[in-house]
A and B are shown apart, each in its own frame.
Chain A
């Protein structure tokens, strides 16, 4: 089954969060009238990204990042004996033009440069095809999506979307119980660290904003990023009776209470449905 939809309804941030948490492998294609991007993932990690119409061969990437000159890039591209990017990479390393680290950094930079603008696309159709990966000859670099989501969220400018995703600031935050979510592996800004240092089920997002002199927009943006990166969860503030109005998404659930029917009644209903 393909994941299909429009960024209007399910944003790039949410898509990457889904791919990360579900550890998906495949290709995500996002398209507008003007542009089309293809992002490839392996087990929930971003491994490649390209914009249609853009030269995404290694020579072009090395040139874009200033590792080789335009002339060198042109000379490489005209050589018919170099069949794949992997082969070219080896050739350039053996000839001493670039190091392995240069190649990794260049590919990584080009991948990310293709991904970050997608966070600001308000509209565009998307389709995720499982188990479809880029051409075998390309060099792929596994990049953790938590960091990509955090950086992408920093670029969000849409107040409305943040308001929809996080309508109430009267929720507390706690660290997600995901063993693979490690904050120390993610590059956080000073403001984000400030928020992180106050994360505690006793502090609401509003209080954290006040402690740090942040506007509603700033705190929403940071909390949204941390949330979508799967690093934190929203919870009801400790010691606070919830009386939030109904219809407020994101509010903490009440503890479930036992329904006012006898156990025997439920068991009779179950056996009725199991029989029929």
Chain B
């Protein structure tokens, strides 16, 4: 049985758990805890260790999706989760500019863990105040060769498209090297 691993990372409340929940064939194994800090109470629960989702592609091929905790105080999990990944998705909250700096820092951290392909998915594009993917590329100084794609983490098709774009990036890298 071949297992392939993709990591979904991003700042607090970017929608990582939803992203995985939306596409996983199993109920996501979530390690959530109730949020106690007043300043972080934009949602009730947060991931403290990881989210885990699974997609069976064939009898001999399974895709694992790991979601990282968004809060810095749980970042000791990041490197563990990054081990052996095929690539990673950096999920942005397109309506909360206060998280962009953190998103850029997370992106740099993951790039330093493993030099694997990644893409940036701009979540919450269905909301009126969402910054466009083009603006987010400039705001976060994403290099031109990295894809920045729109995303709605509650929409299965959109999530599927993000994963496809990441896989295309992996394939493009393989083509370049062949």
Residues of A within 8 A of B (CB): 1-6, 8-10, 14, 17-18, 21-22, 164, 242, 244-251, 253-261, 263, 265-270, 272-274, 276
Q: Which residue of B2, B97, B143 has the most chain A CB atoms within 10 A of its CB atom? A: B97
B80 within 8 A of A: no
Tell me whether A256 and B116 are in contact (CB under 8 A): yes
Q: Does B135 contact A (CB under 8 A)?
A: yes
Cβ B98 vs Cβ A268 within 8 A: no
In the bound complex, CA of A3 to CA of B130 (Å): 8
Q: A245 CA to B170 CA in the complex, in Å?
A: 25
B108 touches A14 (CB 8 A): no
Whether B98 pairs with A18 at a CB distance below 8 angstroms is: no
A256-B115 contact, Cβ under 8 Å, with A247-B105, A269-B61, A270-B164? yes
Q: Is B4 an interface residue (CB 8 A)?
A: yes
Known pairs A249-B108, A259-B173 / 20 extra A-B pairs, C-beta < 8 Å: A3-B135, A22-B134, A22-B135, A242-B112, A244-B112, A246-B109, A247-B75, A247-B105, A249-B101, A253-B108, A253-B143, A254-B112, A254-B115, A255-B115, A258-B174, A259-B170, A260-B84, A261-B4, A270-B164, A273-B164
CB closest chain-A residue, reference B111: A253
User: Among the interface residues B2, B75, B138, which one has the most CB atoms of the partner chain A within 10 A?
Assistant: B138
Q: What residues of chain B have their CB less than 8 Å away from a CB belonging to chain A?
A: 2, 4, 55, 57-58, 61, 63, 75, 79, 84, 86-87, 97-98, 100-101, 104-105, 108-109, 111-113, 115-117, 128-132, 134-135, 138-139, 143, 160, 163-164, 167-168, 170-171, 173-174, 177
**Tally of A-B Cβ pairs under 8 angstroms:** 116
Q: Is the interface of B mostly helix, strand, loop or mixed?
A: helix
Note all chain A residues with C-beta closer than 8 A to B61. Answer: 265, 268-269
Residues of A within 8 A of B163 (CB): 273
Residues of A within 8 Å of B143, CB to CB, are: 253
Question: Of A250, A253, A267, which one neighbours B115 at CB under 8 angstroms?
Answer: A253
Contact present for A266 and B135 (CB under 8 Å): no
Residues of A within 8 A of B130 (CB): 1
Q: Within the assembled complex, what's the spacing in Å between the Cα atoms of A22 and B173? A: 28
**Docked-complex contact B75 and A10, CB < 8 angstroms:** no
Which residue of chain A has its CB nearest to the CB of B171? A266
Q: B112, A246: Cβ atoms under 8 Å? A: yes
Do B97 and A10 touch across chains, with their CB atoms under 8 A apart?
Answer: yes
A234 to chain B, nearest CB (A): 8
* Alpha-carbon distance between A1 and B94 when the two chains are bound, in angstroms: 11
Nearest residue, chain A, Cβ from B115: A254
The answer to whether A273 touches B105, judged by C-beta atoms less than 8 angstroms apart, is: no
A10 to B103, CA, bound (A): 13
- Evaluate contact between B131 and A3: CB separation under 8 angstroms: yes
Q: Report the bound CA distance from A250 to B140 in whole Å.
A: 10
- In the complex, the chain A residue whose C-beta lies closest to that of B108 is A249
B138 touches A6 (CB 8 A): no
